Structure 1
């Protein structure tokens, strides 16, 4: 039987050192008596696919014995790969889907952390792929599956994930090289040697350990301690939750209070509890599920994203710290953060007092004038004093939020939603829960909010026509259809299927 090359596929995203990892493997092979070749196919931008690096190694002594140099392949073929290295769990899933991972041959080494794809992040609902299912598929597909959170391991060692993958590859023992030969390769690189060796060493031990997989379920977290605020007004709200509402719902209610104080003020959080007290008084909610679901979704709806909220979030110190950490900014380096802002006429009108906002929306000449000046977006550098103060001024407008057109519209919809829940709950509590969960359709900002609201109005119109006769499962199907398709075609198909169009 003819000697076959060692075939290694690396799937890595930009900035993760996939090219460095491929070069390390090539350098190690060439330094230890192997002919090596590497190629790469760049992935699509914006996290729709990783770059594939492909390496083949062939023993130089065997080539001499054969009397000819081998012809090495440029791309991996399904069913013909010995080792697959994936820098992220979805990329491991993509490798399985492409047939690069096979049960009789392939060792799969992958990180279990997730960097969500554009399709996952842009879904109207929760578009995330189940990580546990991804791991199960990969486990079934591979001859051996080595996995752990390599991004966390890289962070802990001050290195990059390529060094962790290199260490896990060494620990897997599937290549004919010793640990010393792997480490010598890193040292020959001469860049970031110390942190790379640290990351390599920890990954090597993880890959060699008996329990190389992560546990399927995490240990149950201890319940969060009861908050003990110092401010007397905040303390009064916490006491109200703890004394007036059943304990299973208190965690949701306390989080809602915290969120709405941060979003607006104490009075707004008090309005939230007033609304929830009316829900708690409804008959038929024996297990408290309606109270919990309404508490969760009402807090989300009352903290809708308007221009003041977006400006506030973009100028928080915690956001600057997070961006600096993600960009790995070193002491002495300058970080510039540019925000692309493109407010539409509707957003401008919604930030104005309700009467003025409606007048502007309905006045042809002033409307066209504003639209002319807002045709093009602009870039605001929030890391500069001017840009920061500009957005902080917008954020400060939250004190007038309850007088704006947006608040009037959202408040009307919230009251209608609560009234619909209250009207259905005594007769059909399960249906009331499904109505409460329809708030999931209303989210986001600008076009995202507009599409979600359109779908929400369509679903609520169907509920209005059908009344209590609509089954909870049917309403759930309509909601899921609305979340599955931003254009609404799946929702219309579901409405037609149930004769509710």
Structure 2
């Protein structure tokens, strides 16, 4: 199945079958949401293609007119869903370098456009069938965390060539390891929002806003993802499953989100969750 998908994508790449026309946003969206949706449809069409933008609308549509979802909640979902689907990777930075003014800052890059991705991160941009073999070989020689220096800028020939080469991977992005991981994470986030609406509605806004943590790339993103998973797996999910009772979950999630923003090791998050769970256990006894 993966091989057939890879062949079809490769054929589309060669034949140029790649719709980059932004699809129309359905009518009837609540006031204030339409402009956010239009911008995200435009951005995601540039990021990937029209089908990807339509996936955004399909995901957002789950919460339009949903009981318990007020206008501020829907606005936050629309905004953060666009951010999550246009996740940071080297391909997107390269696309922005080529389509924008060419400055590193405009592409969300450090001054000079110098990035140092690990070989593991680079492998994550490749189709799973290729990345698996490559990562296996890198692990054998202990090179998975070796970094390469890449300059992405439209102001030098070297920077433009590097950006162009990386941008060629855009059409193959849906087959990449990173894409599969991000797709699962977006669905996990939306699922937790849905469960919060059912199990603890007053905490839903904080579950939505938890996606703010999932930004960046490389080691910084890895730390942010670890902290988000700790919050979801060790507190939110057990509450929604009925394993523990935390009446003040919304305030606890807000505090954990603040801690997570600066917690580089995950220790502070783990400690705070342990305190919350101990307090809940005492109240239940």
Deviation at 1:460, TM superposition (A): 0.6
Q: CA RMSD in A?
A: 2.9
Aligned in 2, Cα 1:456/1:232: closer, same or farther, shift over 3 Å? closer
Measure the CA separation in 2 of the matches of 1:389 and 1:372: 25
Report the counterpart of residue 498 of structure 1 in structure 2: 276
Q: Which runs of 5+ in 2 are unaligned?
A: 1-18, 280-285
Deviation at 1:375, TM superposition (A): 4.6
Aligned in 2, Cα 1:280/1:393: closer, same or farther, shift over 3 Å? same
Deviation at 1:400, TM superposition (A): 1.1
1:385 to 2:163 alignment: no
1:419 to 2:191 alignment: yes
Report the counterpart of residue 350 of structure 1 in structure 2: 124
Measure the CA separation in 1 of the matches of 2:139 and 2:253: 39
TM-score, scaled relative to structure 2: 0.77
CA contact (8 A) 2:213 2:228 kept: yes
Measure the CA separation in 1 of the matches of 2:105 and 2:180: 34
Measure the CA separation in 2 of the matches of 1:378 and 1:232: 27
CA contact (8 A) 1:283 1:426 kept: no
Deviation at 1:322, TM superposition (A): 7.5
Deviation at 1:274, TM superposition (A): 0.3
2:209 counterpart (428, 432, 437): 437
Measure the CA separation in 2 of the matches of 1:253 and 1:372: 38
Measure the CA separation in 2 of the matches of 1:400 and 1:274: 22
The structure, 1 or 2, with the larger RCO (C-alpha pairs under 8 Å, 6+ apart) is: 2
Deviation at 1:278, TM superposition (A): 0.8
Report the counterpart of residue 231 of structure 2 in structure 1: 459
The Cα offsets for residues 428-470 of structure 1, whole Å up to 9 and x where unpaired, read as 3332221111101111011111110010110111211222744
Report the counterpart of residue 9 of structure 2 in structure 1: none
TM-score, scaled relative to structure 1: 0.46
1:237 to 2:17 alignment: no
1:300 counterpart (74, 83, 95): 83
Q: Which runs of 5+ in 1 are unaligned?
A: 1-230, 324-336
2:172 counterpart (380, 387, 400): 400
- The aligned length equals 251
Aligned in 2, Cα 1:269/1:372: closer, same or farther, shift over 3 Å? closer
Partner secondary structure for residue 464 of structure 1: helix
Deviation at 1:307, TM superposition (A): 1.5
Deviation at 1:371, TM superposition (A): 2.1
Deviation at 1:300, TM superposition (A): 0.4
- List 4+ stretches of structure 1 deviating above 6 A: none
Moved more, 431-440 or 469-478: 469-478
1:474 counterpart (252, 259, 267): 252
Measure the CA separation in 1 of the matches of 2:239 and 2:59: 26
1:309 to 2:109 alignment: no
More helix by share: 2
Deviation at 1:373, TM superposition (A): 10
Partner secondary structure for residue 101 of structure 2: helix
1:249 to 2:33 alignment: yes
Measure the CA separation in 2 of the matches of 1:372 and 1:422: 37
The Cα offsets for residues 202-232 of structure 1, whole Å up to 9 and x where unpaired, read as xxxxxxxxxxxxxxxxxxxxxxxxxxxxx99
Larger Rg: 1
